[in-house]
Structures are given as C-alpha cells and as structure tokens.
Structure 1
Amino acid sequence: MRFDELPRDWAQRPITDPEVFEGVVDLIVTEQSRSEGATYLLLCHPNLHLLQPICLAEEPRRVDAGEVLEGVRLLLGEVSRHDVHDVVMVIARPGRVTPTPRDRDLRTAFEGACRATGVTLHAVAIAAMDDVAVLPPEGACAAA
C-alpha cells in the first residue's frame, strides 16, 4: 500500500493494523532515507497509535548490527524512562524489499535492544525505494 491509498481514519488505528501498516511506513520514511539507508523507530502509544517517528539517519550501509544495537538500546532506554514501551522499527535502504541477511541481523538486534530495555517490538518493516514490506520474525513463513 502506498501512503496516498491510506484510509481517512488511519491515524485512529493501531499502526500495526495490516490494512494501514505499509501505507503509514511509506508516508513516514523519506526518499532520502531509502536511498542512503537509515533506521526508524516509530514510538507508539499503548494502544499502538503512532506517537512519534524517529529517524536515525546517516547510518552507513556497512555498519554492522552490533553497532546499530548499541545506538538503538540507548535510545530505547531513554524513551522507556518516559513511559514509552511500544515501538515499530523500519529499515530504510536502497534495493528491493526482499529480506537480506543484514535485515535479519538488524531485526535480531532490534529484538535484543527491546528486551534489554523493557520495550515491546510490535513489527519490523523494510522500506525500499518503490515498496514497503513487513519483515517477519525468523522462522515465520511469508504469505504466498
């Protein structure tokens, strides 16, 4: 789904609602982030409505998941002190939305950072130049 196809009531729905999730990610993630690479943390209210997107820009594409983990862990630790305990993460990058080993490593790093800070990771998405897709957890089967 593209952002311009979002229903009028998208902001009143949980960000993880399958009918709006990819469109909301498409709305938030910039073209520059997709071409250069970035990590987004979408902070959510307890009802999973979008609270605040945060872009961790200028992430070199070659940065390993461990380095991303440390930055995300610090940020999540800070937001959790302000009673934000629900997030969605987005990997913005060039190429296609087909998951790569690095995407899977980043998802694992996100999950570790969330566990370490008491934050719940509700979903992970990949935002590429022309598409957005959910990154399923390891071992999950993609819908055919």
Structure 2
Amino acid sequence: MRFDELPSGWAQRPITDPEVFEGVVDLIVTEPSRESGAIYLLLCHPNGRLLQPVCLPAGRGGSGARLVEEVRQVLTEAAEHGVLDVVVVVARAGDPGVSAGDGRLRAEVAAACRAAGCALRGMAVATPGGVRVLPLHAPSAAA
C-alpha cells in the first residue's frame, strides 16, 4: 500500500493494523532515508496509534552496532517518559524483500527494545521499491 491509498481515519487506528501499516510506513519514511539508510522508531500510544516518529540516519559514519546502541538509548529515554510501545522501520536501498541482514537487525533491535523496557509492536523495511512488513520473530527451523 502506498501512502496515498490510506483510508480516511487511518490516524485513529493502530499503525500495525494490516490495512494501514505499509501505507503509514510509506508516508513517514523519506526517499533520502531509503537511499542512504536509517532506522525509524515510530513511538506509539498504548493503543498502538502513532505518537511520534524518530529518524536515526545510518550515514553518520557509525557501525550497525552503533546504530542499534542509539536505538536502545532513544527507547530508554522514551520509556522514562512512559512511552513503552514502538514500531521499528529499517530504511535502506535495494530490494524490498527481506534479507538475512534484516533478520539479524530484527534480533538486535528486539534485544534493544527489551533492554529499554519497550515492547516491539511491529517492524518493516522501506526501500525505494516499496515497503515490506517483517515478522517479529525469526521463522522456526523445520524439525
């Protein structure tokens, strides 16, 4: 879904509602972020509605570990102010399909959320080619 396809009243719904999630991500994540890379923290009200987006650009010379540490710091501060729900969006260039790197980042971000005392409510990847929702948990290996 593109942002211009969002239904009226979308802002009154949880942003992880499958009928609006991709459109909300498409609305918030900028094209320059999709080209250069960033992590967006979409801070949410307890009912899942969007409270405040926060963009952490990746192009500041820091490593992936440094960016995840910034995520933890921002979420720790948000939690101190009673914001305990977050949706995380990885903005990057390339194919919008889920990559192995996205899976590793998902695990690192989930750990940062737990360390900060926040609940990870959803995760997505936004690229110039589109938006894809990531599963919150890694798929189980077949027995």
Distance in 1, Cα, partners of 2:123 & 2:61 = 18
Q: Is 2:25 aligned against 1:25? A: yes
Q: Deviations over 1:68-105 (max 9, x none)?
A: 22111111110000000000000000111111121111
The number of equivalent residue pairs is 140
Q: Which amino acid aligns with 2:101?
A: R
Find the counterpart in structure 2 of residue 102 from structure 1: 101
> How far did 1:60 drift?
6.0
Q: Which runs of 5+ in 1 are unaligned?
A: none
> How far did 1:67 drift?
2.3
Contact 1:37 1:61 (8 Å CA) reproduced: no
**Aligned residues with identical type, % of pairs:** 55
RMSD: 1.7
Contact 2:34 2:128 (8 Å CA) reproduced: yes
Contact 1:22 1:132 (8 Å CA) reproduced: yes
TM-score by length of 1: 0.91
Q: Which amino acid aligns with 1:8?
A: S
Q: Which runs of 4+ in 1 moved over 4 A?
A: none
Assess, with a 3 A threshold, how the Cα gap between structure 1 residues 62 and 69 changes in structure 2: closer, same or farther.
closer
Find the counterpart in structure 2 of residue 114 from structure 1: 113
Any residues of structure 2 matched to 1:31-70 within 5 Å, and which? 31-59=31-59, 63-64=63-64, 66-70=65-69
Assess, with a 3 A threshold, how the Cα gap between structure 1 residues 61 and 37 changes in structure 2: closer, same or farther.
farther
Assess, with a 3 A threshold, how the Cα gap between structure 1 residues 58 and 69 changes in structure 2: closer, same or farther.
closer
Distance in 2, Cα, partners of 1:94 & 1:21 = 20
